[in-house]
Amino acid sequence: MRYSLFFGAALAASVSTVSAEAGCQNDGGNWYCSAVDLITYSGFATSGTYNLVNSMSGGQCGSVRHEFSGKFGPLSEELSMHFRGPMNLYTLAVYNKGSGKPKRELKPSIHERRHGHSHQRFHEKRAIGDTVIATIDGQVVSWANKYGGGAPAPTPAPGAKDPQVKSSHGGGSKGGDKPKDSKPHAPVKAGPGQWGRVAFFNTDSQDAQGVSFLNNDGGWDAGVDQTFGAALKALGLDDSFFGISSKPNFPKDSTIPDGEEMIIMSDKKCENGDCGFTRPGAAAFHGFGGEEKIFLFRVSMPYTGTKGTTIYDPKDMPAIWLLNAKIPLTSQYPMNPDCSCWKSGCGEFDVLEVLAPGDGRCKSTYHTEQSKSGGSSYYFERPEEPVTVAVVFNGEDSTLYVKVLKDMEHFPETLSHEDIKKLCADNGKSNNFALAS
C-alpha cells in the first residue's frame, strides 16, 4: 500500500517477528517461511476502543473514543475493499450469514434501478440508428437499430457475419463466470445455515449489484480541503482503467494498472449521519457490514518488471486489503495521522500483498492496536493465472480464514454450510496465526 512516513513506520513496528525456523528467512525486513494455500487468524480482541474522527477543519481533526465489540474486533464493523495493480479483477462477491427464512428480495436495489435493470427498460422506444445492447444465448452483443415500428426487426445471432453486429463481451473471461442470462442479480436473503450474496460484480458481463467504484484521488477540482490528503471520488471516464462502457461508472475491463488503486464500497450512500462523521465534500458510501461475512475475489497478478522511483510509488507490487470503512470516509492517507482512526487501531486486514517490486510472494497482516497486530510469515504464491481468494469471517470458531482456490469460478447467490466447510477446509498446506489478544 502507498503509505505516508507515519504509516510506513507503524507498519514496520506492527509486523510480528519470528524466530529463524527451518526454511524461514528474513528478506528486506520481512520473514518468509514457505508457500501455503490457507492461513487462519484466531485470538481477536473482542472489545476495545479507538479514536473516532468527528471533525475536520483547518488542517486539524477532532475525535472521540469509540468502543467496539465483536468476534473479529474492529473488523466486525463495516469494511471497504481495496485493490492495487498490476491486477486483473474478474469477479467479486460479498456474502452475509442468513438469519431468517430464505427469501429473494423482490424490490430491485437502487443500483439496479440506476443502471436500467428495471422492467421499464423494456418499454423504452429507440430511434433508428440508436445502439441496441442485448444478451443472446449468454453473450452480450450490440447493433445499430434499424427498426422504426411495424414488423419486428430480425434478431442478430452471436457471431453473425453482419458487419454492424459487434461483440461487447468484456475482458476477463479467463477468470470470471460468464452470464447465463440477462436477468438482474437481486440481493438474496438467506435462511439459517446459509449465506446470502449481498454484492456482486463481473467485468466480463458488466453485471453488478450493490457496489460502488471509487478511488482516493478525489477532491482536487471540487473544493475539498486538501490539507487532509486525497479524498474519496467516484470513478469515471477520466480514470485510466475506465472507459466507454455499456453502463456508466463501470470498469471497461478487468485490468487495474500498475501502481493504481481501486476502492469498492456498497452502493448505499451515507445519509443523515448513518455512517458517522464523513469528510465534507467527498464521496461517502457505506462499507460491507455484518460481523460474519465472506469476500470472494477472482483475480490474477501479472508481472510488469517496473520499479517505482519512491516508496510512495509502488510498482509491480499488487495487493488486496480490507479497511474499516471509517478510514476512507475521512482520509486513507492523511497528512495528519489524527485525521484517520487507523493510528488508534480501527482495523485493516491485508489479504494478499506483495511487499517488494517483482516479488512472487504475497503476505497477509492484521493491523489494529500495535501490541495486538501481526501477520503470518507463511505466504501465498503470487497468482499469474486466475485464482479465487476467499476471505471468511467464520463466527462459529471466531476465526478468519484466507484461502486460495484454483477451481472455484462461479460465485452463486447462496452458500450452504457445506460450502463454507469446503472454503475453510485444510488441505495440508496451511498455517494458523494466533493473535496476541
pLDDT > 90: percent of the chain = 55
How far is the CA of 400 from the CAs of 28, 81, 328, in angstroms? 27, 16, 23
pTM, to two decimals: 0.77
Could you tell me which of 360, 363, 361 has the C-alpha nearest to residue 352? Answer: 363
- Residue that wins the pLDDT comparison between 243 and 160: 243
Tell me how far CA of residue 123 lies from CA of 117, 119, 126, in angstroms: 12, 8, 9
Mean pLDDT estimate for the chain = 78
The burial of 101, by beta-carbon neighbours within 10 Å (0-12 exposed, 13-18 middle, 19 or more buried), is given as: exposed
β 79-84/87-97 pair status: unpaired
What's residue 100's pLDDT?
54
Range name among 1-5, 17-21, 104-108, 311-315 with the lowest pLDDT average: 104-108
Among 132, 145, 129, smallest CA distance to 182 is for 132
Residue 212: phi and psi, rounded to 5, are: -130, 140
CA-CA distance, 9 to 198, in Å (whole number)? 36
Of 251-255, 339-343, 374-378, 388-392, minimum mean pLDDT range: 251-255
Question: Is the per-residue pLDDT at 189 higher than 90?
Answer: no
Closest CA to 342 of 317, 310, 373: 373
Residue 271 has pLDDT above 80, yes or no: yes
pLDDT band at 7 (very low <50, low <70, confident <90, very high): very low
Range of 145-154, 207-216, 322-331 with top mean pLDDT: 322-331
pLDDT at position 225 = 77
By C-alpha distance, which of 210, 192, 204, 203 is closest to 414?
192
d(CA 35, CA 362): 9
Cβ-based neighbour number of residue 257 at 10 Å: 15
Residue 370: predicted pLDDT? 83
Give the alpha-carbon dihedral of 31, 35, 39, 45, to 10 degrees: 0
110 phi and psi, to 5 degrees? -60, -40
Q: How confident is the model at residue 236 (pLDDT cuts 50, 70, 90)?
A: low
> What is the predicted pLDDT for the residue at 135?
37
Lowest mean pLDDT of 30-44, 148-162, 327-341, 397-411, name the range: 148-162
SS3 113: helix
pLDDT digits (tens, 9 = 90+) for 27-85: 999 999 999 999 999 999 999 999 999 999 988 999 999 999 999 999 999 999 999 99
For residue 412, cis peptide bond before it (omega within 30 degrees of 0): no
DSSP structure class, residue 374:
B
Look at 203-212, 244-253, 399-408 and tell me which has the smallest mean pLDDT: 244-253
